[in-house]
Amino acid sequence: MLRKLALKKLKASDLSFFKAYLIKHPQTKQKGFNLDKKVVEKLFFPALTASLQPLNKKAAHVDLIVFGPGMAEAHHLARKIKQDSKNIRLNGEFIDGPVTEPNRYDIIAPGDFAIMEFTGTAMPEAVNVILVAAAHDADASLHTRLKSILPNLSDSMKALSEDELIEVAKAAAPPAAHPIHEWLETGLLEEVGYGDASAMENLNRRRPGRGISPAGFKIAKESAERTGRLGEELFDQFLNTFGLPGISAHKWIAQINAVSPYDFLLTDDVHAERYADAKSTSGIFYNPVYLSIAEINHAIKCGCPYDIIRLYNVKETTATFRIAKDIRTKLCPVLDALTNVPKGVNVDSLSFSPDYFNFETEEYFIEIAAEDDEVDE
């Protein structure tokens, strides 16, 4: 799964996490969101219980970033993921409104929703939440669409794919300033996450005076990293399952060395080696390709062919790719030009239009069978 996304229907017991609700309902004893283990453990973090067991109070600290309700921007908090008896909870201190918005959470009621994104490997390291309140005008259409996903009173939590969430947001059409857009403008935000200057200018034009919040920028960077990892994984599975013409063996180097200047070591049919770098985007083929100076240096000096595998339309289980074979001669004038930058200036990475390289016209389509993500309610 590319992003660990889930939809949670908020019940009275969950709302006691908010101080405003607890004051009005002092009889509530629980403090925190109940998290469905069939989602957070079975689907997202299979080692979660084992990871929490040895910790003090079986709890781990997480960064919690809350958006909404409505168009309220990021509220940064520190809370915990905790095993409580047989349950997993997001809890810690009560959540109170920020100093500048003391009544921010007063509007939330049972039946409202939390769109949640979890990041981390063995256990959550951060949890991003968008609160969607039926009583807030900016949330009303989105709330209606989310209710169709969890329509029953007994519904608790369901894993979502990014495509499902995109479709919901498109159908609901919340205001342009709604935080859901920061989560879902993956193509543009992916380029922002790479530090692309033109993408940043474009985003500032589209969101005058607002740009992107620090939390949104963090999400953009994480999204770009996830897409890169997923692209490598899909390409590796393609090589394992189908192979490429003329390639007899491969090694996924980036899986064991995160700072390698290439991602794959390929061996052709005559036992000659070549390097391959996977460049992935969730968008179209013509989105920029980003190369670090370390990659450019290695490509020119390695003495072997250096290929680019351009993966695009990267989804959870599908992608398309094209190949630019041995780009060394294309990179030599680029590296020569960089020798003329003033002393004390270092260039770490560059963006290229795919048209700069001689990509082959042949397209390869990857489709990997998805695991069963259905959750029993």
Tell me, yes or no, whether 9 and 149 share the same domain.
yes
Tell me, yes or no, whether 257 and 145 share the same domain.
no
Three-state DSSP at 376 gives coil
How many structural domains is the chain composed of?
A: 2
User: What range defines the domain where residue 167 resides?
Assistant: 4-184
pLDDT digits (tens, 9 = 90+) for 273-300: 999 999 999 888 988 999 999 999 999 9
Amino acid at residue number 42: K
Do 321 and 363 contact (CB within 8 A), yes or no?
yes
Average pLDDT over residues 217-223: 77
Do 208 and 177 contact (CB within 8 A), yes or no?
no
CATH code at position 341? 3.40.1350
Least confident of 16-20, 133-137, 161-165, 229-233: 161-165
CA distance 131 to 72: 9
Tell me, yes or no, whether 108 and 15 share the same domain.
yes
CA distance 146 to 8: 10
CA distance 266 to 271: 9
Residue 215 lies in a domain: no
CA distance 368 to 318: 6
Residue 190 lies in a domain: no
Tell me, yes or no, whether 349 and 279 share the same domain.
yes
Do 35 and 90 contact (CB within 8 A), yes or no?
yes
8-state DSSP, 254: G
Tell me, yes or no, whether 176 and 262 share the same domain.
no
Tell me, yes or no, whether 48 and 170 share the same domain.
yes
pLDDT at 377 (0 to 100) = 38
CATH code at position 152? 2.40.330.10
pLDDT digits (tens, 9 = 90+) for 330-360: 999 999 998 888 988 888 889 999 999 999 9
Kindly state the tokens that stand for 140.
């009303």
pLDDT digits (tens, 9 = 90+) for 46-65: 999 999 999 999 999 999 99
Residue 234 lies in a domain: no
pLDDT digits (tens, 9 = 90+) for 236-274: 999 999 999 999 999 999 999 999 999 999 999 888 999
pLDDT at 372 over 60: no
Residue 292 lies in a domain: yes
CA distance 213 to 25: 33
Do 291 and 352 contact (CB within 8 A), yes or no?
yes
Amino acid at residue number 217: F
Q: Residue by residue, what is the 3-state secondary structure of 152-194?
A: CCCCCEEEECHHHHHHHHHHHCCCCCCCHHHHHCHHHHHHHHC
Question: Phi, psi (5° rounding) for residue 99?
Answer: -55, -40
Average pLDDT, the chain: 88
CA gyration radius, the chain:
23
Q: Return the number of other C-beta atoms located less than 10 Å from residue 43's C-beta.
A: 19
Rounded to 10°, the helix 186-193/197-206 angle is 130
In angstroms, what CA-CA distances link 150 with 7, 65, 113, 261, 279? 8, 23, 9, 45, 37
Amino acid at residue number 175: P
Residue 322 lies in a domain: yes
Final residue before a domain boundary, out of 133, 158, 184: 184
Amino acid at residue number 363: E
Residue 185 binned pLDDT confidence (cut-offs 50, 70, 90): low
- Residue 150's nearest CA partner among 111, 117, 108, 109 is 111
Final residue before a domain boundary, out of 133, 162, 184: 184
Three-state DSSP at 50 gives helix
User: Does 371 or 78 have the greater pLDDT score?
Assistant: 78
Residue with token string 């209606």: 144
Tell me, yes or no, whether 31 and 170 share the same domain.
yes
Residue 120 lies in a domain: yes
Tell me, yes or no, whether 51 and 176 share the same domain.
yes
Final residue before a domain boundary, out of 184, 200, 231: 184
Average pLDDT over residues 180-206: 74
